[in-house]
Amino acid sequence: MIVKEIAGRNRFFEFGTRTFVFIHQETGISVIDDVFERLANRRKRKDEVKEGESIFEEALIVSQIEHIEYIVKVFYACAKTGCELSDEPIDFNLAKVYSWFDHLGYEQAMALLNNLIEVYTAKNFKALTAGLKKEAA
């Protein structure tokens, strides 16, 4: 969980399993891989990926405006999850989260979102890898 002061008030953010439910409610996306592809604004490559190459294709999935809209909805989902886990009231709506995004600026908002996602994926990919190793043994 990350607590970030925005416009003079502490706001709580968490990216986790519950966040995917909120992302689905806001965007209609129902496949976890699609959530990450949309965040990257690229589709996963089907060809072999060599070390140092991107796992994503070059072509954009959506326009820049649609991409920002999606990112803010993910940011909103993280804020809702953070409030629920912190027993804080959800005293904001999507319009206010757009304002927070503007207040922070694109770079700082994306750094916060990337940090949240990195913590989640590191924990969950380690758990998945460990589970697969146990099944193979």
Q: Report domain extents, the chain.
A: 2-45+55-129
Token pair 């649609």 is at which residue? Answer: 66
What angle, 0 to 180 degrees and rounded to 10, lies between the N-to-C axes of helices 64-86 and 17-27?
140
Cα 21–Cα 23–Cα 25 angle in degrees, nearest 5: 70
Q: Please give the pLDDT value at position 108.
A: 94
CB atoms within 10 A of CB 121: 13
pLDDT band at 133; cut points 50, 70, 90? low
- For 135, how many CA atoms within 13 A lie in the half-sphere containing its CB? 6
CB 37 within 8 A of CB 44: yes
Cα separation, 51 vs 133, in Å, equals 23
In this prediction, residue 54 carries a pLDDT of 86
Is 84 a residue whose pLDDT tops 80?
yes
- What local confidence, expressed as pLDDT, does residue 58 receive? 85
pLDDT of residue 77: 97
**How confident is the model at residue 37, as a pLDDT?**
92
Distance CA(38)–CA(29), nearest Å, equals 10
What's the mean pLDDT in 74-85? 97
CA distance 20 to 10: 23
pLDDT band at 134 (very low <50, low <70, confident <90, very high): low
What is the tens place of the pLDDT at every residue in 21-69? 999 999 999 998 899 999 999 988 888 888 888 888 888 999 999 999 9
Q: 9-13 and 2-6: which strand pairing?
A: antiparallel
Rounded to two decimals, what is the model's pTM?
0.83
Greater confidence, 38 or 136?
38
User: What pLDDT shows up at residue 53?
Assistant: 86
- Confidence class for position 132, pLDDT limits 50, 70, 90: very low
Dump strand ranges (E) for the chain: 2-6, 9-13
